[in-house]
């Protein structure tokens, strides 16, 4: 009810991605791994990007064993020179990228009291959640625009559709930065046939969320989250978010002072 899932028909997904080159970052586990497998099963040529070569190769082996096509690129997206080399290699080898799934990310939940000597938390989240994907898309967008076709899906967080919550400063700021960047760029590339979708994803029970206190809270499975990504590629909506997020965001803007005071009090319980 809070976040209904949406799974496209197999035929619709196959029509959308069969023969297309789909790049998935963070593809070695969780949402990215399941998403890559779903696209490959639908006939896409999947480009899988992640840091861990061992996990990445294992995920790709599962795809090829099932009859799919997957190519792996072990890359640290916080290394900007490596990102440039990645884009050059992919374009030289495959000729194009039709769809980019920006899924790789890093989540940090820490209060400001615990952050005074941890500036690296902010550089880490900015590098992987903002600068890395920007660098990658700066290298891929020219070819997409020249071909007159391309789709970018950003896995964002529903936290951006709600009042800022305590302890999420590093993560929220980095996700908001890329969200704003992509929404702005979307207005400039639409005329060239490049579309974008922002998915404001709720809690997803994956390896990244496992060490947190949210294990017992309601959330999506990686497969349910991957279904949302597939829906984004088929339907190409501008955004996918909870049905209640629009009214809540409007109410938050109208009552910013009271909402901020409410969140300030909530830190005692988070």
pLDDT tens digits for range 235-255:
999 999 977 777 766 767 767
Q: Which residue has the tokens 């209904």?
A: 4
- Among 169, 149, 174, 144, residue whose Cα is nearest residue 236: 149
Helix 169-189 to helix 119-126 angle (10° resolution) is: 30
CATH of the domain at 176: 3.40.50.720
In a domain, 179, yes or no: yes
Q: Using 50, 70 and 90 to split pLDDT, how confident is the model at 16?
A: very high
pTM of the model: 0.88
- Predicted local confidence at residue 264, as pLDDT: 66
CB-neighbour burial class of residue 85 (10 A; exposed 0-12, middle 13-18, buried 19+): middle
pLDDT tens digits for range 176-218:
999 999 999 999 999 999 999 999 999 998 665 555 555 556 6
Q: Using 50, 70 and 90 to split pLDDT, how confident is the model at 6?
A: confident
3-state SS, residue 10: helix
In a domain, 109, yes or no: yes
- pLDDT over 90 (residue 135): yes
- Predicted local confidence at residue 108, as pLDDT: 86
For residue 217, the 8-state DSSP code is: S
In a domain, 218, yes or no: yes
In a domain, 250, yes or no: no
**Mean per-residue pLDDT, 14-39:** 98
State the total domains in the chain. 1
In a domain, 29, yes or no: yes
Q: What is the residue range of 87's domain? A: 10-245
In a domain, 2, yes or no: no
In a domain, 128, yes or no: yes
Long-range contact set of residues 192-195: C-beta below 8 Å, sequence gap at least 24: 192/144, 192/145, 192/148, 193/144, 193/145, 193/147, 193/148, 193/149, 193/150, 194/141, 194/144, 194/145, 194/149, 194/150, 194/151, 194/152, 195/150, 195/151, 195/152, 195/236
171 is catalytic: yes
Q: Which residue has the higher pLDDT, 79 or 6?
A: 79
Residue 251 to residue 256: CA distance in whole angstroms:
8
Q: Using 50, 70 and 90 to split pLDDT, how confident is the model at 162?
A: confident
- Predicted local confidence at residue 218, as pLDDT: 64
Q: Which residues contact 94 (CB under 8 A, 6 or more apart)?
A: 21, 45, 47, 71
The one catalytic residue among 3, 130, 171, 200: 171
- Predicted local confidence at residue 7, as pLDDT: 84
In a domain, 257, yes or no: no
């Amino acid at each position: 009810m809070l976040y209904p899932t949406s799974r496209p028909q197999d035929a619709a997904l196959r029509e959308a991605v069969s023969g297309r080159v789909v790049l998935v970052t963070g593809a070695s586990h969780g949402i990215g791994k399941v998403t890559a497998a779903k696209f490959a099963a639908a006939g896409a040529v999947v480009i899988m990007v992640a840091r861990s070569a061992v996990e990445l190769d294992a995920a790709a082996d599962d795809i090829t064993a099932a009859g799919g096509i997957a190519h792996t690129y072990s890359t640290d997206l916080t290394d900007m020179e490596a990102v440039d080399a990645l884009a050059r290699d992919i374009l030289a080898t495959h000729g194009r990228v039709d769809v980019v799934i920006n899924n790789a990310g890093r989540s940090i939940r820490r209060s400001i009291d615990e952050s005074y000597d941890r500036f690296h938390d902010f550089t880490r989240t900015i590098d992987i959640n903002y600068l890395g994907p920007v660098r990658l898309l700066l290298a891929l967008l020219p070819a997409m625009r020249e071909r007159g076709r391309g789709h970018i899906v950003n896995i964002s967080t529903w936290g951006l559709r709600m009042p800022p919550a305590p302890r999420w400063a590093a993560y929220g700021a980095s996700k908001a930065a890329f969200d704003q960047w992509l929404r702005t760029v979307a207005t400039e590339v639409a005329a060239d046939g490049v579309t974008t979708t922002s998915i404001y994803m709720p809690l997803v029970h994956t390896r990244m969320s496992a060490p947190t206190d949210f294990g017992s809270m309601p959330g999506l499975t990686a497969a349910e989250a991957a279904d949302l990504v597939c829906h984004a590629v088929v339907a190409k909506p501008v955004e996918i978010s909870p049905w209640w997020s629009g009214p809540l965001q409007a109410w938050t803007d109208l009552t910013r002072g009271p909402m901020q005071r409410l969140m300030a009090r909530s830190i005692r319980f988070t």
